[in-house]
Each structure stands twice: as C-alpha cells, then as structure tokens.
Amino acid sequence: MSVTAPRGFEAAGVAAGLKSTGAKDVAVVVNRGPLKVGAAVFTSNRAKANPILWSQQAIADGVVEAVVLNSGGANCFTGSFGFQTTHQTAEKAAELLGVGAGDVQVCSTGLIGTGDEVFRAKVLAGTEAAIDGLDRDGGIAASEAIMTTDSRAKRAVHEGAGWTIGGMAKGAGMLAPGLATMLVVLTTDAVLDSAQADAALRAATRRSFDRLDSDGCMSTNDQVTLLVSGASGVTPSPDEFTAALASVCLDLAEQLQGDAEGAAHDITIEVRHAASEDDAVEVGRSVARNNLFKAAIFGNDPNWGRVLAAIGTTDATFDPYDVDVWMNGVRVCTAGGPDRPREDVDLTPRATDIVIDLKVGDETATILTNDLTHDYVHENSAYSS
Amino acid sequence: MSVTAPRGFEAAGVAAGLKSTGAKDVAVVVNRGPLKVGAAVFTSNRAKANPILWSQQAIADGVVEAVVLNSGGANCFTGSFGFQTTHQTAEKAAELLGVGAGDVQVCSTGLIGTGDEVFRAKVLAGTEAAIDGLDRDGGIAASEAIMTTDSRAKRAVHEGAGWTIGGMAKGAGMLAPGLATMLVVLTTDAVLDSAQADAALRAATRRSFDRLDSDGCMSTNDQVTLLVSGASGVTPSPDEFTAALASVCLDLAEQLQGDAEGAAHDITIEVRHAASEDDAVEVGRSVARNNLFKAAIFGNDPNWGRVLAAIGTTDATFDPYDVDVWMNGVRVCTAGGPDRPREDVDLTPRATDIVIDLKVGDETATILTNDLTHDYVHENSAYSS
C-alpha cells in the first residue's frame, strides 16, 4: 500500500514518456488532510538539482499539500530553464488541486543535464494525468513511477495504535549520506505539528538513510519528504512516533541496500566501543568507502588487512594496534595481529557482517554498504548511453 | 640503470622464496658515499606496517647507509614478532655491511598480516644473498625485486650538470595520497646536506606522488627514501635539484598510474582558477575518488554530471552553477548547464584529460587517477587468494 496506507492520502503513477521503456515515470502524492503538515530533508551536496532548490524554499512554512515526482531526468544543471520547469510543475499541480504552488514539493531523478523543452512538456502532461488518476490505492503505482535503475519498487508500512506510517523509496546508485540519499516519501495519519514532524524526520533519517553508504557517491537530487494528514485523530508520543518512523526508514534503507546496482553482498559494518557516535560512524564509513575492501568481499576474500588500512585513515580515537575485527562471526584480527585463520570465514552468503571493536568507549554505530562488483562497473559505465 | 645510475651506489635484487612464483623479492640499495645523507617520507595512514615504524625512527638522524626492501609480505599487523623481524633485518644488513643498524631503512610490501617465522627466515636469507650480490649495475634487478602486482618495473634517471638522480618505484594498487603512496628509492650523487635532502624530497613528493590517487585507498607500507652519496662532488642549487627531483618523481608517478591495477584509462584532472592550491587539490581529488565518474570513463561515457556531483561535495570556494568542464578538449558544461553535445567527446584513447574551471582565482593543481574497470574488481577480489 505504500504511501496510501495511512488515511488521508491519495496517489498515482503514470507513464509520461520520460523513460524510453514506456514504464511509469511521474508520480503524485496528495495529502487530503485535515492537517497539511510537511517536513523534508535534502541532499547536502552543494550541486543541487532544480527541484531541490524549489522544494527547499517551499518547505519553509511546514505546509505540504502534494509531492510531484518524476524519474527519467534529474533536471539538474539545466539552468534557469530547468528551474522554470520545476516551478511550472508545481503551479500546474497547484492549479489542478486548488492549492498554493508553494505547498507543492517537486522531486526529480535521472540523468544530470536532462531537462529540455521535451522533458518539460512530458513532466507537465504527466503531472496532469497523475492528478486525474489520483486514487486511495495509488501507492503501488506511485512507488513504481519513481524507479530508475531499481530492479524493484521499495515500500514500507508501520501500523501504530490507531495510526499508520507508509513510505516509498527509489534508489539503486549514487547512494551516500548527506541528510537524505534518495527519493523517499513518507506519509502518516498520526497527529503531529510541523516542529514535531521535522524533529521526527531528522532523527529517523540520521540513523537510517544517513547510515547507508552504498558507493560513496552523493546525489544532487535526494530528498526525503514526510506528509502528515492527522486523519487518524490519534496523537502518539513523540518518542513512539519517532521510533516507528525510524523503523520505516531503516526498512526502506535496507531495501535500497539490497537492490544496490550490481551488488552481490549486503554488508553491515558495526563499530563497537567507540569514544563517540561520530567516531563510530567515521570508522564505519571509511570501510564502506574502501574499494579494495569492497572488491575483496565480492571475491569472498576475508582480507581483514584492508579493514585496518581503511580505518587507519580516520581521525577517530583508537589504537590501530589494539583493534579486533570479526567477519561473519569469526574473529580474524585481535589486537593488531592475526587471530583465527582466514579460511574459517564463509563469505558466500549475500548478508555480510563486519564487526570492528575499537575498545575505547561505549558508543556504537552501524553502516550499511555493498560490495564492488563487475556488475556495478558495468551498470555505471553504461547508464547514460 | 635505476638507483645505480648515480655514482656511489650499489644494488641487488634476489629471489628469496617470498613470492610463490619464484620471482625476485628482496632488494638492497647501498650508499657507498662519501656522504651518507638520507631523507624519507612515509604513509600518513595511522595503521603503519612494522618496517614503517622502524624506518621512521631510523631516519631521524638523517643518515642512511642502506635500504632493504622485500615484496611478498607487508609485515603489517604482525605484532611484536613482526617488528622484531624488521629489526633483525636491519641488524643482519648492518652486520654484513659493517654499519650501524639504525642507518638501515627497511621497506616491505605485500599482503597485510603476512610475517611469520617462514617469512622472517626468507627475508633474512634474502638480505644476505642480496648483499653478497651487490653490484654497480644492480639497479635493474633491485627494481624488479620490489614488484608485487606491477606488470612492469618502474625506473627513472635524470642527468644534471655533472650529477645524476636515479629512482625506482613499485605500486599498482592502494595508491592514494598521504605523503608517500608506494615504495620508492631515489638516489643522487649530488652534494646535499640532510636538511636540503629532506626539503627537496618533501617538495618533490608533494606535487607528484601526493597528487596520484588511483583508487582512493591509502597503504600501510608506503615509503619514499632519498639517498645522497655526494660522489659527483657537484653542489647544484636547491631549486635546481628540487626541480630535477620533482621531475623524476612525476615520471615515476606517471609510470605507476600507467600500470594501475586493471586500469583502462589514465585520467589527468586539471583544476583551474581555484581560490587556493588546496582547493584545487580537494576538487580534483573528489572527482578522482568518485566511483560513478570512474566507471563512466571506463565506459567511454562523457557523463559530466558526475564531475559536478563530485565537486559539489567539497568545501572549496566556487559557485556550483558557474563551473566549466572540458573532457578531452570538448567543453561539455558551461556555467552549470550543458554546452557541446556529449557525442563530440572521444574517450577511446587511454589518456583522458578532464579540465575543471572554477572561475574564482589563480591557483591550479593536477591530480592523476585511473578509471574503475572490470579488471580492477577482478584483481582486487582475488589478490590474497
């Protein structure tokens, strides 16, 4: 059911010709209220697509009536013409929905540099067709319309006590942290004000999407938007809602990890006993971004030296010669020296667990990543051609 | 001729059984003087191999009589036993050469975690055999003995006015900046004192090896050592010597780039009109480390959006919407929008030139890198097995 699982939402996904395959490529999600609360987080890349520049302004008042999303073109580095396209998209949706353009969020994904007259015409027509087709059961179609190289749509639902959270996500590459790392729409019929929605969204994404680092490449178009209808009439406690939202975000993040371009392993890197949570994240991310480590995992090679070589490049507090490393439950390195034989490690399962014990504090963090494979190289050397 | 091109040096390379192929794997370079000046730079990785820990101490007095180098094992994360192996190697060489152990530099390269009793015995025997075989023409053999996954030995010679610089290098992966990024020995018969040698070496490596970033992975074992015999009796000006040393370093760095594991393109990233040299380096390096960009180049795909997405993650001073990008001479992006058609760019040659004009200042820097290929993934998923 995706984003239409909670009460108060309608959605649609249509094919507007942006994708050469003829697949769905424009989605609209509308909040029918009674609340029209919205919150969003955006890529921290300074190179921001036109929809990001628009949506960042539009979210300032904490009111969102609708989100229009397209695949098949990023509308990034397309100049003032591209910004006008985004603006016209919001105005078109606003006019048809009878709301203000400033309350329409716009998201795009696809090839950077794509956003000409043909793109504009298709996006505007698709927006109109999607709004014509809005439906209480449109969440599935919407989740399909935002796919790019994704092999499957990503959806999640959490049922609270009388209230619900729904979500959809797209993303299979250029997945790296920076507030948000993909296109995600989250919806809820719980009752929250705009400050609560913003705080919950930031807390939830910080420990989910921000801890996913598939390929170290930060996108120009990433946005996570939360829409609050309040249609359940139920007001959960902030902690309860935030925990539920975080579980939905982590569910979607794991779906993104599991569908990352060309990946053969889903790698969970748990850093234990760090001096601070930031240290734990920095250490985990250094491993997640090390191509030699990632290629070794692809080859089912428990080359733990590459873990230590990676974390040695960080500024985190620890003694490089007193670190333990486990690979799939086997402690291969203790206190800076070999422990159990490499041959004891079985890296054939897709799920791969790396544990790094820094032995200096009480903080922990888990980073999700993927291996570096032939298929990753293939997909990313042929994407725009 | 490599390291034995200048007067005052002897070298040898022998097979000690560290490599399963039976190829040469232990090298010794000896400075016969009259000067015994030495300088060295080391990896800035906090995870340092035992030979690095030894050599950093031993270089403190600026005196180097000899360098012993082995391939076939990194002797990194091998605990106190591994450090003793390095110590015994220096003592063995010192005893046979009639010098102090503290004036012997030791370098190792190979798999991290390799350094057991068998390794020690072979290194010690190889050191003895190499010293037995020291020769005025031993530079070629020495350059071969330090190869790991290198497909060819790297050597360079510069002839000054009555003085000479020679050099050898090994390195084909784990190439990323951090003072030094590979094993390199440089020799000269010019007359320099230890402060001059150190200053010249730091200046030369900063703009050569430190600007090579093949795969973003910093090694635990990298060291560049300069030996000064003074045997020519000629004292070049510091500027003249530093420029010559830099040219030898850049020559070797380009040989390393050209032989990087699995690479199909040698990519030169020139950043122009930066506000500072540091900004230019940061911008260039962000592109060099972007896997999506590197995979696109492998696919001969002029996907300039990935250049802008990469540089947008930096803190350098520039306007992301006012940057020009050239690929092999074609300006594909102007002022944050498309310029010439992608189809005009021919990326089939191995040599690939990327120019990024930041339009804010007068500083420039050039980073050398490689593409991300199937062969890189293959070689690095199978290296230790």
pLDDT digits (tens, 9 = 90+) for A271-295: 999 999 999 999 998 898 888 898 8
Q: Are residues A336 and A319 in the same domain?
A: yes
Residue B219 has pLDDT above 80, yes or no: no
Query: Token digits for B33?
Result: 């003087």
Active-site residue, selected from the candidate residues A181, A188, A242, A268: A181
The domain tally of chain A equals 2
> Can you name the residues that pair with B112 across neighbouring β-strands?
none
Q: How far is A290 from chain B (nearest CA, A)?
A: 6
CATH code at position A304: 3.10.20.340
Angle, nearest 10°, between helix axes B50-58 and B79-97? 50
Q: How far is A352 from chain B (nearest CA, A)?
A: 15
> What is the structure's pLDDT at B172?
66
What is the arrangement of strands in the sheet containing B9-14, beginning at the earlier edge strand?
Answer: B9-14, B26-31, B66-70, B104-108
Q: Are residues A225 and A133 in the same domain?
A: yes
The residue with greater pLDDT, A383 or A162, is A162
User: Among partner residues A46, A305, A313, which is closest to B77 by beta-carbon distance?
Assistant: A305
CATH code at position B144: 3.60.70.12
Q: What digits encode the pLDDT tens for the residues A299-342?
A: 898 988 889 888 988 889 999 889 999 999 999 999 878 889 88
Query: Token digits for A312?
Result: 């040695």
**C-alpha to C-alpha distance for A132 and B109, rounded to whole angstroms:** 66
Residue B166 has pLDDT above 60, yes or no: yes
- Residue B30: what are its φ and ψ, rounded to 5°? -120, 135
Scan for tokens 């030791």, then name that residue: B106
**C-alpha to C-alpha distance for B340 and B330, rounded to whole angstroms:** 7
Reduced to 3 states, what is the DSSP secondary structure of residue B216?
Answer: coil
Q: Are residues A126 and A203 in the same domain?
A: yes
Task: Single out the residue of A68, A76, A140 nearest to residue A113, CA to CA.
Answer: A76
Question: Which residue segment(s) compose the domain that B301 sits in?
Answer: 266-381
Angle, nearest 10°, between helix axes A79-97 and A117-132? 20
Q: How far is B218 from chain A (nearest CA, A)?
A: 7
Residue B66 has pLDDT above 80, yes or no: yes
User: In degrees, to the nearest 5, what angle opens at C-alpha A243 toward C-alphas A239 and A244?
Assistant: 120
| Residues of B in Cβ contact (< 8 Å) with A217 | 290-292, 306, 309-310
| Residues of A in Cβ contact (< 8 Å) with B215 | 291-292
What is the arrangement of strands in the sheet containing A266-274, beginning at the earlier edge strand?
Answer: A337-338, A330-334, A324-327, A351-357, A266-274, A363-370
Which residue in chain A has the smallest CA separation from B78?
A337
The pLDDT of B370-381, averaged and rounded, is: 84
> What is the structure's pLDDT at B342?
86
Quick one: how far is CA A14 from the chain centroid? 22
CB B355 within 8 A of CB B270: yes
Q: How far is A132 from chain B (nearest CA, A)?
A: 33
The pLDDT of B267-289, averaged and rounded, is: 93
Residue A53 has pLDDT above 90, yes or no: yes
Q: Are residues B253 and B273 in the same domain?
A: no
Q: Are residues B91 and B194 in the same domain?
A: yes
Query: Token digits for A256?
Result: 């993104």
Is residue A127 flagged as an active site residue? no
Residues 6 or more apart whose Cβ sits within 8 Å of residue B104: B58, B64, B65, B66, B67, B68, B89, B90, B93, B94, B97
User: Among partner residues A290, A309, A372, which is closest to B112 by beta-carbon distance?
Assistant: A309
| Residues of B in Cβ contact (< 8 Å) with A291 | 215-217, 291, 372, 376, 380
**C-alpha to C-alpha distance for B314 and A65, rounded to whole angstroms:** 34
CB A123 within 8 A of CB A14: no
**C-alpha to C-alpha distance for B100 and A141, rounded to whole angstroms:** 76
The pLDDT of B32-51, averaged and rounded, is: 88
| Residues of A in Cβ contact (< 8 Å) with B380 | 291-292, 295-296, 299, 372
Residue A244 has pLDDT above 80, yes or no: yes
Count CB-CB contacts under 10 A for residue A202.
16
Q: Are residues A44 and A66 in the same domain?
A: yes
CB B244 within 8 A of CB B24: no
Q: Are residues A326 and A252 in the same domain?
A: no
Q: Verify whether the Cβ–Cβ distance A47 to B174 is below 8 Å.
A: no
Scan for tokens 């030898």, then name that residue: B248
Count CB-CB contacts under 10 A for residue B366.
18
> What is the structure's pLDDT at B76?
86
Q: How confident is the model at residue A180 (pLDDT cuts 50, 70, 90)?
A: very low
Domain boundary among the residues A226, A258, A290 is at A258
Q: Are residues A50 and A189 in the same domain?
A: yes
Domain boundary among the residues B229, B258, B287 is at B258
The pLDDT of A51-62, averaged and rounded, is: 94
Q: Verify whether the Cβ–Cβ distance A312 to B45 is below 8 Å.
A: yes
Q: How confident is the model at residue A178 (pLDDT cuts 50, 70, 90)?
A: very low
Which residue in chain A has the smallest CA separation from B46?
A312
> What is the structure's pLDDT at B385?
40
Task: Single out the residue of A65, A54, A33 nearest to residue A123, CA to CA.
Answer: A54
Q: Verify whether the Cβ–Cβ distance B305 to A381 is below 8 Å.
A: no
Chain A to chain B Cβ contacts (< 8 Å): 197
User: Among partner residues A290, A337, A381, which is closest to B296 by beta-carbon distance?
Assistant: A381
Whole-complex ipTM = 0.74
* Burial class for A123, CB neighbours closer than 10 Å (0-12, 13-18, 19+): buried
**B313 assigned to a ligand binding site:** no
Q: Are residues A181 and A313 in the same domain?
A: no
| Residues of B in Cβ contact (< 8 Å) with A178 | 313
Residues 6 or more apart whose Cβ sits within 8 Å of residue A58: A64, A90, A101, A102, A103, A104, A105
Q: Are residues B312 and B249 in the same domain?
A: no
Q: Are residues A126 and A186 in the same domain?
A: yes
> What is the structure's pLDDT at B173?
60
Binding residues of A for substrate: 148, 170, 181, 261, 380, 385
Q: Are residues A232 and A318 in the same domain?
A: no
**C-alpha to C-alpha distance for B255 and B249, rounded to whole angstroms:** 10
Residue B164 has pLDDT above 90, yes or no: yes
- Best residue in A175, A215, A217, A298 to probe B by mutation, most B CBs within 10 Å? A217
Q: Verify whether the Cβ–Cβ distance B77 to A220 is below 8 Å.
A: no
Count CB-CB contacts under 10 A for residue B49.
34
Q: How confident is the model at residue B181 (pLDDT cuts 50, 70, 90)?
A: very low
Q: How far is B343 from chain A (nearest CA, A)?
A: 10
Query: Token digits for B327?
Result: 């690929």
DSSP B154: E
**C-alpha to C-alpha distance for A68 and A311, rounded to whole angstroms:** 41
For the ranges A180-184, A214-218, B92-96, B325-329, the lowest mean pLDDT is seen at A180-184
Which residue in chain A has the smallest CA separation from B299?
A381
CB A366 within 8 A of CB B287: no
Domain boundary among the residues A258, A284, A309 is at A258
Scan for tokens 């016209």, then name that residue: A88
**B50 assigned to a ligand binding site:** no
Binding residues of A: 148, 170, 181, 261, 380, 385
Q: Verify whether the Cβ–Cβ distance B45 to A309 is below 8 Å.
A: yes
Which residue in chain A has the smallest CA separation from B380?
A295
Residue B383 has pLDDT above 70, yes or no: no
